[in-house]
Structure 1
Amino acid sequence: MNARFLGIADLVETPSVAVVVDVMRAFTVAAWAFAQGAERIVLAESLDEALALKARHPHWVAIKDGPPAPGFDTVNSPGMLRSMDLGGRTVVQKTTAGTVGALAVKEASLVLCAGFVVAEATARLLRTRASDSVTFVVTGEDGRAEEDLACAQYIARRVTEAETDAAEFLRRAGESRAAAELVERVRQGVHPDDVALCLALDRFPFAMVAASEASLMVLRPYAVPPLTDEASF
């Protein structure tokens, strides 16, 4: 498998298969939302779109980066989200990097959103897909976020090397600038457990697939079949 690692701004053409990585914290939050029962996540283009969707569908749950704000139900924190009952709910998510990256590759034939919490399931899905080329979108810090790059490189390695040790990749993520900013509360809307939750390798058994549905980019969990079966989209 030919793996490319690009920032959002470096996407000059639509890839065939894209894995959009945001470890701290968009796609860790998304995975937790599904674990708490959410049916789907709508990836919003802007805060205004998220609020408009929430206004039209008051029972949806709206999430944003940063501090709490009127119209939003919670913030982009796995530590905060894990206590919410989202059974059967639709979540609307708008973040600074992760949702932007997913929307940037929405025309790809397969879009996966990932973090360490769904790394193995993501790698398994890529193995069943048997793609010759996969573009990993490193969303944070204009493509330089160490936690996102480490996760992307780990998933890419796991596709072809089943015995890959995650320790060094997790160490890099844990020592990243994003991790330090969360620990030191430089960022707002932070729970003390956020970094640990973001580094909880393979906590969830599903991958996360994004696709267009009625003009919206929608993320859903995907139960990865046994390796003897073929995934079909």
Structure 2
Amino acid sequence: MDTRFLGIPELTDLAEVPSVAVVVDVMRAYTVAAWAFGRGAEKIVLAGSLDEALALKSRHPDWVALKDGAPAPGFDAVNSPGMLRSADLTGRTVVQKTTAGTVGALAVRDARLVLCAGFVVAEATARLLRGHGADAVTFVVTGEDGRADEDLACAQYIAHRAAGSAPDPAAFLRRAADSRAAAELTEGVREGSHLDDVPLCLELDRFPFAMTATREDTLMVLRACAVPVD
């Protein structure tokens, strides 16, 4: 399997749209998304801006809108797995707008297959890639313009598993635990965080599904995808 690891700004320099893209945001967009599905959400609409998220919420008052940072008028939740894990989202649609994760997914919206991932869905994501028979995969390292070590570590781990190797996950998880994002969450630098956010983001294979993003009309929609065990 031919793999490359790119930050969001590097995507604009590509000569062609990637065929298969895995968008990685460990802390916290796609950990939150996985928890939303774990709490019963039917789908997640990835919004391109806060204004778009609020407009969608206005048109669909029963949808659950969440964002990065502190709570804000019009939004129901913040981008924190620690805060979301007790929510009942059975059958609900979630609208998600984050600083990096949703931006990365929208940047590769024209790829034939778009997966969104964190450590919590790593193995299911790798299994889906293996089952898909992907020859080339672009991993989008969303944080810090591609320099976020928690996202790169997760992307590299998934790439190894997708290629059929079995690396020790401890080293990859340690890199994520020592990352700048983990420190900022632990120290309370980032608003809208919970004390359990970092441990929850580092729960390897907490959920048995992968997450696929596809165009549905004018929206980019994320859904949980059951993946058979090899």
The residue that corresponds to 2:153 in the other structure is 150
* In 1: Cα distance, 2:209 partner to 2:189 partner: 31
Q: 2:38 aligns with which of 31, 35, 42?
A: 35
1:88-167 equivalences in 2 (<5 Å): 88-167=91-170
1:59-98 equivalences in 2 (<5 Å): 59-98=62-101
1:158 is aligned with what amino acid?
A: R
Once the two structures are superposed, what CA deviation does each residue of 1:137-160 show, in whole Å capped at 9, x if it has no partner?
000000000000000000000112
> What SS does the corresponding residue of 2:213 show, helix, strand or coil?
strand
Displacement of 1:225 after TM fit?
A: 2.0
The residue that corresponds to 1:231 in the other structure is none
The residue that corresponds to 1:194 in the other structure is 197
> What SS does the corresponding residue of 1:157 show, helix, strand or coil?
helix
* In 2: Cα distance, 1:213 partner to 1:188 partner: 32
Please, which moves more after superposition, 211-220 or 11-20? 11-20
Once the two structures are superposed, what CA deviation does each residue of 1:10-65 show, in whole Å capped at 9, x if it has no partner?
01231000000000000000000000000000000100000000000000000000
The residue that corresponds to 1:221 in the other structure is 224
Contact 2:116 2:213 in 1 (8 A): yes
Once the two structures are superposed, what CA deviation does each residue of 1:68-100 show, in whole Å capped at 9, x if it has no partner?
000000100000000100000000000000000
4+ runs of 1 displaced by more than 2 Å?
A: none
The residue that corresponds to 1:176 in the other structure is 179
2:177 is aligned with what amino acid?
A: G
Once the two structures are superposed, what CA deviation does each residue of 1:195-219 show, in whole Å capped at 9, x if it has no partner?
0000000000000000000110000
* TM-score of the two chains, using structure 2 as the length reference: 0.98
Once the two structures are superposed, what CA deviation does each residue of 1:149-195 show, in whole Å capped at 9, x if it has no partner?
00000000011234221000000000000000000000000000000
> What SS does the corresponding residue of 1:124 show, helix, strand or coil?
helix
* In 2: Cα distance, 1:161 partner to 1:60 partner: 39
2:202 is aligned with what amino acid?
A: L
* TM-score of the two chains, using structure 1 as the length reference: 0.96
* In 2: Cα distance, 1:151 partner to 1:161 partner: 16
Q: 1:48 aligns with which of 48, 51, 60?
A: 51
Contact 2:160 2:166 in 1 (8 A): no
Aligned-pair identity (%) = 76
* In 1: Cα distance, 2:209 partner to 2:87 partner: 20
* In 2: Cα distance, 1:99 partner to 1:211 partner: 13
Structure 2: gaps spanning 5 or more residues: none
* In 2: Cα distance, 1:177 partner to 1:148 partner: 11
Please, which moves more after superposition, 10-19 or 194-203? 10-19
Structure 1: gaps spanning 5 or more residues: 228-233
Do residues 207 (structure 1) and 210 (structure 2) align? yes
